[in-house]
Chain A
Amino acid sequence: MTSKNRFLTMCLLVTAVLLLPQISHATCTLASFSGAFSYTIMGTSDGQPLVINGTLAADGAGNLADSNVVTRPFPPLVVNADVGTYQINSDCTGSLIFHFSSEIVHFDFSLANGNTQFFAVCSDPATELSGFASM
């Protein structure tokens, strides 16, 4: 191979490496969602304003541990600790199910930033709740 060909080959390789991250699509499994996240969820539920701040731990195998503080007009402050499960699709969207003592709450979510952050929206009727979580 001549020097010219080696140079052209190197340029092609560099170009391919630079372009690869832009055209590749994220592929996720249960293991893609693991670690501790801090989150805030805001919106309304049954017509009442609601804010939830908490921490969420995902074990990479479909299980969640969650603790949070719910702020709303009445009752004004509720502290929760609960567990849950999650599913994740290959496109890095998924669903969360939280098992509280008195109810089950569902969210849909989408991972971002190398699976270190996610956006979520509650998928239960009579809610308008969405939020953001970050490691």
Chain B
Amino acid sequence: MKLTSLCVFGGMACAWMAAGVAHAQCNNTTLTAGWSYTAAGTDNRGYIEHRAEAGLFTFNGTGQFTLKDTASHDGVINRLETSTGTYTVNADCTGTLIVHRDPYIVHFAITIDVVNKTFTLACTDPDAELWVAKNYKYQSTYTGRAIKQ
């Protein structure tokens, strides 16, 4: 019986390790807990707006996150704002983040490096009317990087 248990346990361990070295298989549970990040770039709202921000995503592993960040929009600082969002992670470790910050919604594409526990993010809202209330045209070249805490 002891030998059988040892073999079963050893098999489980090998299978778990093999999963780690084989092709990355991701899902929403790949993103859990805190991931610090920064992003920078420009918006086009009829004029070029420079943006920079840094903060903390906290993922729950089931498709929701909270975001706490400080952001500069053309030199106007919004400190320690909090917002919520949803995310989806695909099996190939790409995915999407949707940040809900009233009155606008911002979409990002992400690619996760599971080995180094980082992901890159790029805004995917070209020429969309996100700031509906102000009728701004929003064309972003806004990218960044996150690292797990």
Of residues 25 through 78 on chain B, the ones whose CB sits less than 8 Å from some CB of chain A are 29, 32-40, 50-56, 58, 61, 68-72, 74-77
Any chain A CB within 8 A of the CB of B5? yes
Any chain B CB within 8 A of the CB of A102? no
Whether B33 pairs with A112 at a CB distance below 8 angstroms is no
The CA-CA distance from A26 to B117 in the complex, in Å, is 15
The CA-CA distance from A35 to B45 in the complex, in Å, is 42
Any chain A CB within 8 A of the CB of B134? no
Number of interface residues of B (CB under 8 A): 43
The CA-CA distance from A117 to B54 in the complex, in Å, is 13
Any chain B CB within 8 A of the CB of A59? no
Whether B149 pairs with A111 at a CB distance below 8 angstroms is yes
Whether A125 pairs with B70 at a CB distance below 8 angstroms is no
Any chain A CB within 8 A of the CB of B100? no
Known contacts A7-B5, A43-B50, A108-B79, A121 near B38 by CB under 8 Å: yes
When C-beta atoms are compared, the residue in chain B nearest to A92 turns out to be: B149
Secondary structure type dominating chain B contacts: strand
The CA-CA distance from A132 to B37 in the complex, in Å, is 9
Any chain A CB within 8 A of the CB of B91? no
Whether B54 pairs with A91 at a CB distance below 8 angstroms is no
* Chain B interface residues toward A at CB < 8 A: 1-2, 5, 8-9, 12, 16, 29, 32-40, 50-56, 58, 61, 68-72, 74-77, 79-80, 117, 145-149
22 contacts between A and B (CB under 8 A): A4-B1, A7-B8, A43-B40, A43-B52, A44-B50, A91-B56, A108-B80, A110-B56, A111-B36, A112-B36, A112-B146, A113-B149, A119-B55, A122-B52, A123-B70, A123-B72, A125-B75, A125-B76, A128-B50, A128-B52, A128-B74, A130-B53
* Chain A interface residues toward B at CB < 8 A: 3-4, 6-7, 10-11, 14, 18, 22-26, 42-44, 46, 91-93, 108-114, 117-132
Known pairs A110-B37, A130-B52 / 5 extra A-B pairs, C-beta < 8 Å = A23-B32, A91-B34, A93-B55, A123-B77, A130-B54
